[in-house]
Amino acid sequence: GKRQYNRDFLLGFQFMPACV
Amino acid sequence: QEIVSPEDYIKHPLQNRWALWFFKNDKSKTWQANLRLISKFDTVEDFWALYNHIQLSSNLMSGCDYCLFKDGIEPMWEDERNKRGGRWLITLSKQQRRADLDRFWLETLLCLVGEAFDDHSDDVCGAVVNVRAKGDKISIWTTDFENKDAIVHIGQVYKDRLGVPPKVIIGYQSHTDTATKSGSTTKNKFVV
């Protein structure tokens, strides 16, 4: 299957601290 | 000992790698020379790192474009994956630059990187925002104007995601028709 991400999931990452 | 889940340190991979392009209208240069690749990304985290770093569309000078295309597809009609394709076109009024342009473009980007069109996402080549004094435009480009099922599904999902009211019609036009049009409007192959 495809890696689908819905909008709320994606928006949740907008201001996450960058990965180490 | 602290247990760290992979969720905390592995970036979230996207289905596709995407390339963001920027077009700046400099009349002393050729169209292709005005088109620059900004960056590519293939994770959710790297998408936001890029998006948060660049200007909003509404801050760009008139004549500029952003284009987000799958890696390997150039944002022009001539590309092998575009030449038999077309676009769902959203035309914005001048007033909508303040109210809708940035919101619509972000929603468009989220549709693409999140693969919002299910199996028909394979038909998507990319999306373009044109910032223009006479009215801005946003479009989603697909690969084949004869793939009716894919195009209509993409159009329905896209219209819904943008929150376009049902009574407002959006149209899909082939690039061939756009390139050879004689007047200011191109005929629609499909509408939703």
Cβ(B45)–Cβ(A16) under 8 Å?
yes
Does residue B188 surpass a pLDDT of 60?
A: yes
Does residue A20 surpass a pLDDT of 60?
A: no
Q: What is the pLDDT of residues B63-104, one digit of tens each?
A: 999 999 999 999 999 999 999 999 999 999 999 999 999 999
For residue B186, the model assigns a pLDDT of: 87
Cβ(B139)–Cβ(B95) under 8 Å?
no
State the smallest CA–CA distance between residue B116 and chain A in angstroms: 7
Does residue B133 surpass a pLDDT of 60?
A: yes
State the smallest CA–CA distance between residue A2 and chain B in angstroms: 6
Does residue B178 surpass a pLDDT of 60?
A: yes
Query: What sections of chain A are H helices per DSSP?
Result: 7-11
Instruction: Say which residue the tokens 């004549």 belong to.
Output: B63
A17 touches chain B (CB under 8 A): no
For residue B2, the model assigns a pLDDT of: 77
Sign of CA dihedral B161, B167, B168, B170: positive
Q: Which of B174, B176, B175 is nearest to B188 (CA)?
A: B174
- Number of Cβ pairs < 8 A linking chain A and chain B: 52
For residue A19, the model assigns a pLDDT of: 53
For residue A10, the model assigns a pLDDT of: 97
Q: What is the pLDDT of residues B7-41, one digit of tens each?
A: 777 899 999 999 999 999 999 999 999 999 999 99
- Chain A residues whose beta carbon lies within 8 Å of the beta carbon of residue B44: 5, 10, 13
Cβ(B68)–Cβ(B39) under 8 Å?
no
Give the mean pLDDT of B156-169. 97
Q: Give the strand order in the sheet containing B124-130.
A: B35-43, B13-23, B65-70, B124-130, B137-142, B86-91, B171-174, B190-191
- Chain A residues whose beta carbon lies within 8 Å of the beta carbon of residue B12: 5, 13
Give the mean pLDDT of B169-189. 91
Phi, psi (5° rounding) for residue B181? -60, 150
Test A5 with B118 for CB contact under 8 angstroms.
Answer: no
B12 touches chain A (CB under 8 A): yes
- Chain A residues whose beta carbon lies within 8 Å of the beta carbon of residue B9: 19-20
- Average pLDDT over chain B reads 95
Return the bridge partners of B69, or none: B19, B126
pLDDT category at B6 given cuts 50, 70, 90 is: confident
In this structure, how many other beta carbons lie within 10 angstroms of the beta carbon of residue B91?
A: 16
In terms of Cβ atoms closer than 10 Å to its own Cβ (0-12, 13-18, 19+), residue B128 is buried
Amino acid at B27: K
Cβ(B140)–Cβ(B111) under 8 Å?
yes
Global ipTM: 0.91
- Chain A residues whose beta carbon lies within 8 Å of the beta carbon of residue B115: 2-5
For residue A8, the model assigns a pLDDT of: 97
For residue A18, the model assigns a pLDDT of: 60
**Spatial CB neighbours of B22, under 8 Å, sequence gap ≥ 6:** B35, B36, B38, B64, B65, B66, B67
- Chain B residues whose beta carbon lies within 8 Å of the beta carbon of residue A4: 15, 114-116, 118
Test A20 with B116 for CB contact under 8 angstroms.
Answer: no
Does residue B114 surpass a pLDDT of 90?
A: yes
